[in-house]
């Protein structure tokens, strides 16, 4: 029997009792479990104008052999209704060489191609790299929709995953919060739209006659069983995620936005467990549980009313 990816609780137990997470970044963040009735995910409000521009799930595993032609065909057949377009993507890494009489010189190395399957609109993709599988989408819709694609992707990865060890499971949401700018202002008054805890020491320059020009922050929170959540935030201009031929996204007119980048991830606190697709999916469910509460705790009712719910 492979070691469970879910320490101290079976997948069946977690199916009955997922994370009951209370998150308030002004008080801290806690991860835990509730044995009460599970609230349906559909009870959560789905905003017509949700600011999510990219969602990604990455499962890092021990190094695997490249998929053979027959395995690739099986994956394509499994994914044909959702991700019918098969291609490949090449990664790039940089190595720096230097000597006693010369500055460091960067040398670019193009990595081996990894198979990739995408939707016809090029907004959802699965990439199977030798060390990880990645599901990305710029067309989120809902967690249930993402979970359905991920479940199919895990089945595909399992074709060659019998001896893999799971080293990290991560779920990432990137939000670009864009709001109306009035009265000739160049940038929004973000205190009206997001929680004041995200704005930093904006009054520090007042005494010397300076106005804040930018603010970037990172906050990390850890919980039981190797679970961590990292939040990156701050006002920006342009785009946090650009549209590419490999993964497209609708792009509004460039301008100011507020970034909320939530990376919820898990790593084994002990030995590396063997691959178990069902257990991996349960971990992603756990990682998703705090994301909604994090977002809701960091926005104002004005943002909900005037932007997110606006038709």
Beta bridge partners of 176: 259
Is the separation of the CB atoms in 22 and 293 below 8 Å? yes
Q: What percent of the chain has pLDDT over 70?
A: 76
pLDDT of residue 96: 58
pLDDT tens-place string over residues 86-140: 999 876 555 556 556 656 655 655 567 899 999 999 999 999 999 999 999 999 9
Q: Which two tokens stand for residue 308?
A: 């997110």
pLDDT of residue 303: 97
pLDDT confidence of 9, banded at 50, 70, 90? very low
CB atoms within 10 A of CB 60: 17
Angle at 54 between CA 249 and CA 128, to 5 degrees: 95
pLDDT of residue 304: 96
Q: Which residue has the higher pLDDT, 158 or 50?
A: 50
Q: Which residue has the higher pLDDT, 296 or 209?
A: 296
Mean pLDDT is lowest, of 54-68, 127-141, 206-220, for 206-220
Is the separation of the CB atoms in 127 and 165 below 8 Å? no
pLDDT of residue 224: 76
**The sheet that has 52-61: what strands, in order across it?**
85-99, 102-118, 124-129, 132-137, 52-61, 166-177, 255-266, 227-238, 217-222
Best CA proximity match to 61, nearest among 279, 210, 284, 274: 274
pLDDT confidence of 223, banded at 50, 70, 90? confident
- Mutual angle of helices 69-79 and 143-157, in 10-degree steps: 160
Give the global pTM: 0.80
- From its phi and psi, is residue 84 left (phi > 0), alpha (psi between -120 and 50) or beta? alpha
E strand or H helix at 280: helix 277-297
Reduced to 3 states, what is the DSSP secondary structure of residue 297? Answer: helix
Q: Which two tokens stand for residue 162?
A: 């019998």
pLDDT confidence of 32, banded at 50, 70, 90? very low
Average of pLDDT values for 256-272?
Answer: 94
pLDDT of residue 46: 87
The DSSP result for 175-213, as a single string, is: EEE-----TT-SS--GGGTB-GGGS-STTTTGGGT----
Strands 52-61 and 166-177: antiparallel
Give yes or no for residue 183 having a pLDDT over 70: no
CA distance 155 to 165: 16
CA distance 183 to 195: 22
How many CA atoms lie less than 13 Å away from 162 in the CB half-sphere?
3
pLDDT confidence of 10, banded at 50, 70, 90? very low
CA distance 296 to 292: 6
pLDDT of residue 79: 95
Using only the alpha carbons of the chain, give its radius of gyration.
21
Mean pLDDT is lowest, of 12-16, 92-96, 178-182, for 12-16
Q: Which residue has the higher pLDDT, 109 or 144?
A: 144
Average of pLDDT values for 47-63?
Answer: 95
Mean pLDDT is lowest, of 127-136, 183-192, 215-224, for 183-192
Q: Which residue has the higher pLDDT, 207 or 93?
A: 207
Best CA proximity match to 287, nearest among 28, 35, 31: 31
Q: What percent of the chain has pLDDT over 90?
A: 58
pLDDT of residue 195: 96
């Amino acid at each position: 029997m492979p070691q469970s990816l879910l320490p101290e609780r079976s997948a069946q137990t977690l199916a009955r009792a997922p994370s009951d997470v209370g998150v308030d970044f002004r008080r801290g963040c806690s991860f835990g479990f509730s044995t009460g009735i599970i609230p349906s995910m559909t009870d959560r409000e789905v905003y017509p104008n949700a600011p999510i521009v990219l969602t990604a799930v990455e499962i890092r595993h021990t190094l695997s052999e490249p998929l053979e032609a027959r395995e690739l065909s099986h994956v394509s057949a499994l994914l044909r209704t959702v991700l019918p377009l098969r291609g490949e993507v090449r990664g790039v890494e940089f190595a720096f060489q230097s000597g006693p009489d010369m500055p460091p010189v960067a040398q670019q190395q193009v990595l081996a191609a990894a198979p990739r399957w995408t939707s016809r609109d090029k907004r959802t993709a699965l990439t199977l790299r030798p060390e990880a599988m990645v599901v990305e989408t710029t067309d989120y819709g809902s967690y249930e929709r993402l979970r359905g694609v991920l479940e199919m992707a895990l089945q595909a990865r399992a074709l060659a995953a019998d001896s893999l060890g799971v080293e990290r499971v991560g779920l990432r949401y990137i939000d670009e919060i864009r709001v109306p700018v009035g009265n000739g202002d160049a940038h929004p008054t973000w205190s009206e739209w997001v929680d004041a805890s995200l704005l930093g020491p904006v009054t520090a320059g007042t005494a010397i006659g300076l106005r804040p020009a930018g603010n970037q922050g990172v906050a990390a929170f850890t919980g039981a069983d190797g679970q961590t959540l990292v939040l990156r935030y701050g006002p920006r201009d342009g785009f946090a995620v650009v549209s590419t031929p490999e993964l497209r996204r609708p792009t509004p007119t460039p301008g100011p936005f507020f970034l909320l980048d939530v990376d919820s991830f898990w790593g084994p606190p002990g030995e590396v467990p063997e691959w178990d697709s069902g257990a991996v999916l349960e971990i992603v469910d756990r990682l998703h549980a705090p994301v909604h509460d994090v977002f809701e705790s960091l926005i104002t009712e004005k943002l909900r009313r005037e932007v997110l719910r606006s038709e």
